[in-house]
Amino acid sequence: MTAKQYRAAIAALGLSQVGAARFLGVDGRTSRRWIAGERPVPEPVSRFLRYMVAAKVTPEQVEKLI
């Protein structure tokens, strides 16, 4: 997942950069680095976000399951 795709995915899910970091359980700096393209988005995160967007699953729905 590219930085552009990451930005698009979190936007599609209605998450801010900080909200995405909290939701994914990573430090805010990590999310910023993914957005800036400084670090690659890990494959499990990429797959999870792609699934959520494709299946139209909201972060709130995921939180209810946890």
pLDDT, residue 57, reads 92
Q: What parts of the chain have a pLDDT lower than 70? A: none
Sequence-ordered strand ranges (E) for the chain: none
pLDDT, residue 13, reads 96
Which residue do the tokens 């552009």 mark?
4
What is the Rg, in whole angstroms, of the alpha carbon atoms belonging to the chain? 11
Do the Cβ atoms of 58 and 14 come closer than 8 Å?
yes
The structure tokens listed for 61 are 């729905």
pLDDT, residue 65, reads 83
pLDDT, residue 33, reads 96
pTM: 0.87
pLDDT, residue 28, reads 94
d(CA 55, CA 39): 26
